[in-house]
Amino acid sequence: MADYPILTILILLPLAGCLCLAPVWNCRKSVRPLALGFAVAELALAGWLLLTAPGMSVAPGAPAGYFLWEDAAWIERFGIRYLLGMDGISLLMVGLTAFITVVAMLVSWRGVTERTALHYFLILLMESGIVGVFLSLDLVLFYLFWELMLIPMFFLIGIWGHGRRVYSAVKFFLYTLVGSLLMLLAIIGVYLVHGAGSGVYTFALPLLARAPITHAAAPWLFGAFLLAFAIKFPLFPLHTWLPDAHTDAPTAGSVILAALLLKTGAYGLVRFGYPLFPAAARSFAPLLMALAVAGILYASWVAFAQEDMKRMVAYSSVGHMGFVALGIASWSPVALSGSILQMVNHGITTGALFALVGMLDERAHTREVAAYGGLWGKVPVYSFFFLLFAMASAGLPGLNNFTGEFLILAGAFRTTPLAVVLAFVGIILPLVYTVRLVQELLFQTERQPLQLSDVTLREGALLAVLAGIDVAIGFHPKPLLDLLTVPVALLTGGAP
């Protein structure tokens, strides 16, 4: 396996799909299956890695924990390398990316009727950028892929969005631009400070992490990284771009935004922020915990008041990602494993909820809760899946979100019991607004005579797969947690 550049293939395969769309650009019937074919091929490769990873040993020349490794000189004069690596954490994130990309393509199968080729081109381009983010171990390479994944989302919201799509796209772009500039400044700062101290000027994470930065500038550099990643999280109070982006994005955009783009901020903090600045991270931990708990409580409260289902799910995302932030801030092995698992759980559950809201919007052309009622008797299959994913999002035991949140709270309780007690209230609040949504949508008397059809075979099959993963992780998360054991132990061994 080491003879093949599998990590490079994972990045280039979606780009190859982009190129192959060119000859059939104006043929809608050919564009969709061709793009889906490349997405499925990426998913098959990621799935094969998930199945074979437990038997892999450390790759030659790689640090402990990395079973796939690619390293080549790129711009040697400035210490920039083409450095990719895969451990259990990045494998889970790449697998999630490949799966959600297929989901995003299938949910927009009939809904996108204009500029179809460009739509699928942007999704594949974004997939390549996100996979690159999860595999890069050189800061410059990471930054380039970070930028690559954001541009397609700007166009997806601006071109295929609804309502104030231009406003939401520009707002998303401005927040992203600020975060990117902060990250770029921090990357240059790390390069100069580390080089001045060690005599080795490099952007490679393994070399940088070998001698963590303890310079007086460390809190400022970590603060810049934290702000850049917190915008993408989104961490309270930097979350205000998210509800607008979700509300006006097309269904595929909302699915990718919630399931993947939010995870890149948390991943960046785990992969780069804490290993590079362990002392500064320890000093920032109380602030991060306070913001995480505030986000959980605030987002849950605001979600309860929403009448637009997309905004309700968007605010619930802010709350769920607050739990992820809490687990990272505690930096204990159990809590950190729970946070990484919760990133996968949130991607599956919230992606499914956005897909379900999009299906309803396609049929009735409204997302207002007040427009619906009595769906259980009208569209029973749709209602069953909506109830299942709503309960998963609320943290019902036996479903996936419960597992992640339980690990986070159990792991963080030893170090910060007060934060955990407050966060526990954040588990109860989502249950309140979820019950309200389910009651009004599914069981309350019908308020408008809407002509709705139940899910199609394509939609039903897609929802069944998502539900199967939800239940499987809820009852048996061990295979995923086993993948995290070594990398989490290595990360927490020398950090706060």
The confidence score (pLDDT) of residue 453 equals 87
Ordered DSSP codes for 458-489 = HHHHHHHHHHHHHHHHHH--HHHHHHHHHHHH
One-letter amino acid identity for 269? L
Peptide bond connecting 234 to the previous residue in cis, omega within 30 degrees of 0: yes
Phi and psi torsions of 213, nearest 5°: -80, 120
The span from the CA of 293 to the CA of 299, in Å, is: 10
Q: Which of 309, 394, 399 is nearest to 355 (CA)?
A: 309
The confidence score (pLDDT) of residue 463 equals 94
Q: C-alpha distances in angstroms, 18 versus 59, 179, 226, 266, 317?
A: 30, 27, 33, 28, 30
SS3 481: helix
Residues whose CB is less than 8 angstroms from the CB of residue 189 and which lie 6 or more positions away in sequence, other chains included = 217, 220, 221, 224
The span from the CA of 119 to the CA of 105, in Å, is: 9
E-assigned strand segments in 342-471:
none
93-122 pLDDT tens trace: 999 999 999 999 999 888 788 889 999 999
Stated length of the chain:
496
Decide if 256 contacts 285 (C-beta within 8 A).
no
The span from the CA of 279 to the CA of 282, in Å, is: 5
Apex CA 124: angle with CA 121 and CA 127, to 5°?
150
The span from the CA of 459 to the CA of 385, in Å, is: 11
Q: Which of 351, 123, 362, 160 is nearest to 250 (CA)?
A: 160
SS3 52: helix
The confidence score (pLDDT) of residue 486 equals 92
Half-sphere exposure of 276 (CA within 13 A, CB side): 31
Supply 407's token pair. Answer: 């690990």
| Burial of residue 397 (number of CB atoms within 10 Å: 0-12, 13-18, 19+) | exposed
The span from the CA of 461 to the CA of 319, in Å, is: 29
Supply 102's token pair. Answer: 């297929």
Half-sphere exposure of 196 (CA within 13 A, CB side): 11
One-letter amino acid identity for 44? A
Strand partners, 82: 72
SS3 368: strand
The confidence score (pLDDT) of residue 124 equals 96
Q: Which of 160, 156, 120 is nearest to 39 (CA)?
A: 120
The confidence score (pLDDT) of residue 489 equals 93
Q: What is the DSSP letter of 365?
A: S
Q: Which residues of the chain have pLDDT under 70?
A: 1-2, 494-496
Decide if 430 contacts 393 (C-beta within 8 A).
yes
The span from the CA of 83 to the CA of 314, in Å, is: 35
Peptide bond connecting 14 to the previous residue in cis, omega within 30 degrees of 0: no
Domain locations in the chain as residue ranges? 6-492
Residues whose CB is less than 8 angstroms from the CB of residue 329 and which lie 6 or more positions away in sequence, other chains included = 285, 288, 289, 292, 412
